Structure 1
Amino acid sequence: MACVSSSRRVCARAQEKLCQLLVVKNNAVRPLSSPSAGGTVVLSGGRYAPFAARKYSSQVSSSKGGYAPWLPSASAIFYNPDPGSPRHQLNGFLTLSRTISSARQFSTAFRAESEYSHNYSKSGSVVTSPKYSCNKPCTNTTHHSCIRTYSSVHTQQPAGPVREIQVDPYLLLEDDLKYIYDDIRKLLLQASSQMELKTISSYYFDGQGKALRPMVVMLMARAVNYHMNKESGNLLERQRQIAIFAEMVHSASLVHDDVIDNSDFRRGKPSVNVLFNHKRVTMAGDYILAIASIIIAGLKNDDVTIILCQILTDLVQGEFMQLGSKETENERFAHYLTKTYRKTASLIANTLKGAAVLAGAEESLSELAFQYGRNIGLAFQLVDDLLDFVSSAEQMGKPTAADLKLGLATAPVLFACEKFPELNPMIMRRFQEPGDVERAFELVHKSHGLEQTRFLARKHCIEAIRLAQEMADSPYQKALCVVSDLVINRMK
């Protein structure tokens, strides 16, 4: 009886802790039944079904004690109740869902102790997904649903649809992000009297982008601020300026890319180089970078200036690397990853580091911010390269197979070379002969290149989550974990 009583207390405390945890600003934590844009943190059951307790991975084990996060069973990987969904079709990829520590403690106690506690009743059998219902449900409507469906540890079958908990980073930062595009347009319009320059430079600041980079910068800034000062996670104005800088540099790189690649569409509308003279478009991209550089100067911090200027250096070097290739397969992949870091990940990594340095963070914390951004950036580009082969032009807002048509061998192609060596000469001639693009596209789909690319992207997302979980618990730290879900599961 003493053991049962103790079990009840453990479960009750864990449940109470979870309920307290779910009270977050502006209802940013809410049931998935009314989702908005953003990712999910799955507390239990649902898309990421729990694996039998006998198997854990040292790679993702918690440094704070307790059980490791969920390891999905083979049949529960990327589980989605809708069999026609893209996520269900991607079943078979490795999925590791990192859950917030309090939720993990709750669900661990729940699974282990519910059999012995009168607070919970169980239905189902060992060959079905058992359902646990709380006999003393929470009265607070902002708390979690007390009905949970779990996959059977005997059959390792995926659980049925359940209510999941969503932490929406964009909703959490709604006030911070609300006027970011307005502020950027204001900067561009005030600094020039040339109407055409104003029009071209502000073309991509119409609010139609994902705003991923400023969102992640602000999340990291608030998470770092809270980590250093538990009483406040307030955003510093200078940290917000770095978020604006990040979006401006990103958009300037899009302008230059559209000219270099002679693109036709971007974000579902004609690309800027289609509407305006190439020379003027190029100068407009330079103008955006110039205004972004003024932002750097306004920070009045030498260390941060050096960090952010490295982004501009990396962008140019990455673009030059994209114009070349390597003879051997090993050199090619190293070349590709370095190029990907410089063109995409450096911007996220260094802006996050800059935001941490502005807060007065120690070197270890600023390096953590850098590595988190590096992993998110690499994963983002890997998924982008993957989507070029699996998404429609309508979903992407730009033509598919665009990289092949530009002569670029991205991760799916490089992985496919292992099974189809005939791709190597195509890579060397940059897919310029008739039929090269179509044949390469076909071989990528026949190989495991897409699966391997997603596996590598997921590996970087897992590492990003591990880094985020080293920071002090806060809504912003948890939202940093959700960003990985946004990146790996995005469809455009």
Structure 2
Amino acid sequence: MASVTSLFAPVDGDLAELTHNLKQLVGARHPILYAAADHLFGAGGKRIRPAIVFLLARATTGSEDILPQHRRLAEITEMIHTASLVHDDVVDESEVRRGVPTVHSSFGNRIAVLAGDFLFAQSSWYLANLDNLTVVKLLSQVIMDLAEGEIQQGLNRFDTELSLEAYLEKSYYKTASLIANSAKSVGVLSDLPEVQIENLYGYGRHLGLAFQIIDDILDFTGSTEVLGKPAGSDLKSGNLTAPVLYALEEKPYLSTLIDREFAESGDWQQAFDLILASEGIARSRELALYHADQATYCLKDLSPSASRQALLDLASYILRRIH
């Protein structure tokens, strides 16, 4: 299976420059923040979000080089994503991310919250300096959506009445909104016709949803080594995802276990086993496949290029993570 990094070959140079710039942008003025940034931007993240921005920028501008605004958009996208991860890890009390200690476990909660705030503020500053009101609105909405997604997830813990629609809405806020709106922003900056701008948004939205559903499947089928966290940790914290919601339709006893928040010995393991014994994983796979197919359909109007091919391959790559 090709690695995700090899998919990004058309934008390797862009991504290398991005990593260097991000460390500089966070700035050497604050040694502790610089250390946190070095820790975050050097933690071997896949850079999927900025890579999508670069690939779309190259796919829509043709042979010319991409605009400086496209480069800055990619940096802003990764900053927003990273800021949200820092805060998520504090909220979820995660000790490790991608096999590396989280910012709060290395630097303490105070610094982690401030580092996340600093990154959000810094991204807003660079966003304003793009001098494109449409893009400012699109990415400001993302920052609101990220907070909304976290709040919804917190309010819906252990809620066995949660609908699949509410789960997808939360997944959009938490994961797909950033990819969708940064993809749409590429179209705005590339001055594309409105229909094509909406198609780029559709690509990002469907790809983001497929990505999140697959993450939620891997929470049941992946190993700690692959996940960088113990399997079933979403279920344990009461975050009910697609496999659980589908399993609840077939296994009524599962709702009893969840409603009492796994209070009795063996409850959680029993719930985990019930989900694996249900059609929940298979139906979640179908849902992910639907969104991945929709994502590729949204690229139909782009001219053939290595970057467009990489964007199509990315949808297949995401699906292969569960096979």
TM-score clears 0.5 = yes
Larger CA Rg, structure 1 vs 2: 1
Q: What is the match of residue 51 of structure 2?
A: 215
Residue identity opposite 1:174 in structure 2: D
* Aligned 8 A contact 1:188 1:202 in 2: no
Q: What is the match of residue 75 of structure 2?
A: 244
Q: What is the match of residue 198 of structure 1?
A: 34
Q: Distance in 2 between matches of 1:435 and 1:245?
A: 45
The 3-state SS of whatever aligns with 1:382 is helix
Q: 1:341-375, CA deviations, whole angstroms, 9 ceiling, x for partnerless residues?
A: 00000000000001110111121111000010000
The 3-state SS of whatever aligns with 2:39 is coil
Aligned residue runs from structure 1 range 15-164, under 5 A: 36-38=2-4
Indicate yes or no: 2:318 matched with 1:480: no
Residue identity opposite 2:21 in structure 1: D
Q: Distance in 1 between matches of 2:321 and 2:232?
A: 18
Q: Distance in 1 between matches of 2:258 and 2:20?
A: 43
**Larger RCO, structures 1/2 (Cα 8 Å, 6+ apart):** 2
After superposition, the Cα gap between the structure-2 partners of 1:233 and 1:418, relative to the gap in structure 1 and judged at 3 Å, is farther
Q: What is the match of residue 18 of structure 2?
A: 180
Residue identity opposite 2:165 in structure 1: A
Q: What is the match of residue 277 of structure 1?
A: 108
* Aligned 8 A contact 1:201 1:285 in 2: no
Q: What is the match of residue 470 of structure 1?
A: 301
Gaps of 5+ in 1: 1-34, 40-167, 227-231
Q: 1:96-134, CA deviations, whole angstroms, 9 ceiling, x for partnerless residues?
A: xxxxxxxxxxxxxxxxxxxxxxxxxxxxxxxxxxxxxxx
Q: 1:166-225, CA deviations, whole angstroms, 9 ceiling, x for partnerless residues?
A: xx53111111112211110111124xx332232224321105011111111111112122
* Aligned 8 A contact 1:222 1:235 in 2: yes
Aligned residue runs from structure 1 range 225-374, under 5 A: 225-226=61-62, 232-325=63-156, 329=161, 331-374=162-205
Residue identity opposite 2:52 in structure 1: V
Deviation of the 1:436 alpha carbon? 2.9
Q: What is the match of residue 8 of structure 2?
A: 170
Q: Which has the higher helix share?
A: 2
Q: Distance in 2 between matches of 1:342 and 1:426?
A: 28
* Aligned 8 A contact 1:201 1:287 in 2: no
Runs of 4+ with deviation above 3 angstroms: 326-329, 425-434
Q: What is the match of residue 404 of structure 1?
A: 235
Q: Distance in 2 between matches of 1:427 and 1:37?
A: 37
Identity of aligned residues (%): 38
Q: 1:59-107, CA deviations, whole angstroms, 9 ceiling, x for partnerless residues?
A: xxxxxxxxxxxxxxxxxxxxxxxxxxxxxxxxxxxxxxxxxxxxxxxxx
Q: What is the match of residue 59 of structure 1?
A: none
Q: Distance in 2 between matches of 1:255 and 1:431?
A: 28
Residue identity opposite 2:68 in structure 1: E
Deviation of the 1:456 alpha carbon? 0.5
Deviation of the 1:256 alpha carbon? 0.6
**Equivalent position to 2:257, from 406, 420, 426:** 426
* Aligned 8 A contact 1:380 1:487 in 2: yes
Residue identity opposite 2:55 in structure 1: L
The count of corresponding residues between Structure 1 and Structure 2 is 322
* Aligned 8 A contact 2:203 2:299 in 1: yes
Q: What is the match of residue 64 of structure 1?
A: none
The 3-state SS of whatever aligns with 2:298 is helix
**Equivalent position to 2:248, from 417, 426, 431:** 417
Q: Distance in 1 between matches of 2:194 and 2:215?
A: 31
* Aligned 8 A contact 2:159 2:240 in 1: no
Q: Distance in 1 between matches of 2:144 and 2:99?
A: 29
Residue identity opposite 1:178 in structure 2: A
The 3-state SS of whatever aligns with 2:129 is helix
The 3-state SS of whatever aligns with 2:163 is helix
Deviation of the 1:394 alpha carbon? 0.9
* Aligned 8 A contact 1:341 1:374 in 2: yes
Residue identity opposite 1:371 in structure 2: G
Q: Distance in 2 between matches of 1:314 and 1:195?
A: 30
Q: Distance in 1 between matches of 2:263 and 2:185?
A: 42
TM-score (norm 2): 0.94
Q: What is the match of residue 131 of structure 1?
A: none
After superposition, the Cα gap between the structure-2 partners of 1:334 and 1:430, relative to the gap in structure 1 and judged at 3 Å, is farther
Residue identity opposite 1:221 in structure 2: A
The 3-state SS of whatever aligns with 1:386 is helix
Q: 1:397-451, CA deviations, whole angstroms, 9 ceiling, x for partnerless residues?
A: 2222110121111111111111101222334444454433211110111001111
Deviation of the 1:265 alpha carbon? 1.2
Q: Distance in 1 between matches of 2:128 and 2:23?
A: 19
The 3-state SS of whatever aligns with 1:360 is coil
* Aligned 8 A contact 1:340 1:378 in 2: yes
Q: Distance in 2 between matches of 1:255 and 1:327?
A: 26
